[in-house]
């Protein structure tokens, strides 16, 4: 399975991890003393709420579930299972920077398509203290497709980049697309510029709040491992530069 710890790597890239005060050029543990993951209990894709509650995804056999933890004196609280719609999978948690809602991907029954088992992007208002309001899916076919939409990143000015394995994304595998929500509540989407997507998988995205940099993992060459992190700069006019491998 390709979802490993890359969401946590991206989380660390933008300086959101602060569990160890000693500066380091290497990834550090988020939860000190936590048991070593197994192939069936990997945790990844961490995000932080405005009130400091952290959310992360963890595999549990044939399920992938969403958990929350809170800072306590001397460490962290015990993980709590988050009650959001799903059948067996929730992934891609992200707090939007422009509409202050919580985005996530789930295989919950899609309204009007109750027999589906694909992943779709949903969102919910955050009520604080790890609690959420009623969740609803983003519209189909504007964003969701009936294929898999798995990850989301946003900027302060309303740009949304998301991952889809639908052919309309243009790359051939899991690819990036971008979208905006108008003041009238209408979503518009478009393909990424040539060179961003590859016929191999591109996934697990992160952007800085101003949308100047986009980081994602990709199976493309050249690479040092199974997948590498790649970075693209947002250019004047809104286009994205050809991505570069972040290197060793």
Q: Could you read off the pLDDT of 113-159 as tens digits, one per residue?
A: 888 889 999 999 999 999 999 999 999 999 999 999 999 999 999 99
**Reported pTM:** 0.86
What integer pLDDT is reported at residue 152 of this predicted model? 96
Q: Which of 98, 6, 123 shows the shortest CA–CA distance to 57? A: 6
DSSP class per residue in 46-112: EEE-TTS-EEEEEEETTEEEEEEE-EETTEEPPPEE-----SSBEEEEEE-SSS-EEEEEE-SPBTT
What integer pLDDT is reported at residue 145 of this predicted model? 92
Of 91 and 41, the structure prediction assigns the larger pLDDT to 91
Q: Mean per-residue pLDDT for 60-84?
A: 92
- Write the pLDDT tens digit of every residue in 158-209: 999 999 999 888 877 899 999 999 999 999 999 999 999 999 899 999 999 9
Contact in structure between 147 and 171 (CB atoms under 8 Å): no
CA distance 238 to 127: 33
What integer pLDDT is reported at residue 181 of this predicted model? 92
CA distance 136 to 132: 11
What integer pLDDT is reported at residue 24 of this predicted model? 63
Measured from the Cβ of residue 87, the count of other Cβ atoms closer than 10 Å reads 12
Task: State yes or no: pLDDT of 18 exceeds 60.
Answer: no
Task: State yes or no: pLDDT of 54 exceeds 70.
Answer: yes
């Amino acid at each position: 399975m390709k979802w490993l710890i890359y969401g946590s790597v991206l989380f660390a890239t933008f300086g959101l991890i602060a569990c160890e005060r000693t500066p380091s050029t290497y990834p550090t543990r988020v939860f000190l003393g936590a048991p070593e993951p197994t192939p069936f209990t990997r945790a990844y894709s961490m995000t932080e709420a405005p009130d400091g509650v952290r959310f992360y995804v963890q595999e549990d056999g044939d399920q992938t579930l969403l958990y929350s933890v809170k800072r306590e004196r001397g460490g962290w609280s015990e993980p709590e299972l988050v009650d959001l719609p799903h059948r067996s999978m929730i992934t891609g948690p992200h707090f939007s920077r422009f509409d202050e809602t919580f985005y996530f991907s789930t295989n919950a029954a899609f309204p009007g398509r109750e027999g589906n088992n694909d992943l779709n992007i949903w969102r919910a208002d955050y009520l604080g203290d790890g609690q959420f309001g009623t969740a609803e899916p983003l519209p189909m076919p504007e964003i969701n497709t009936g294929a898999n939409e798995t990850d989301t990143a946003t900027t302060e000015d309303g740009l949304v980049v998301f991952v889809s394995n639908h052919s309309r994304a243009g790359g051939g595998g899991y690819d990036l697309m971008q979208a905006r929500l108008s003041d009238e509540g209408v979503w518009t989407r478009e393909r990424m510029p040539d060179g961003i997507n590859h016929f191999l998988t591109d996934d697990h995205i992160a952007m800085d709040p101003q949308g100047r940099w986009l980081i994602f993992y990709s199976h493309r060459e050249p690479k040092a491992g199974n997948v590498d992190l790649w970075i693209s700069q947002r250019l004047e006019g809104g286009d994205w530069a050809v991505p570069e491998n972040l290197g060793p």
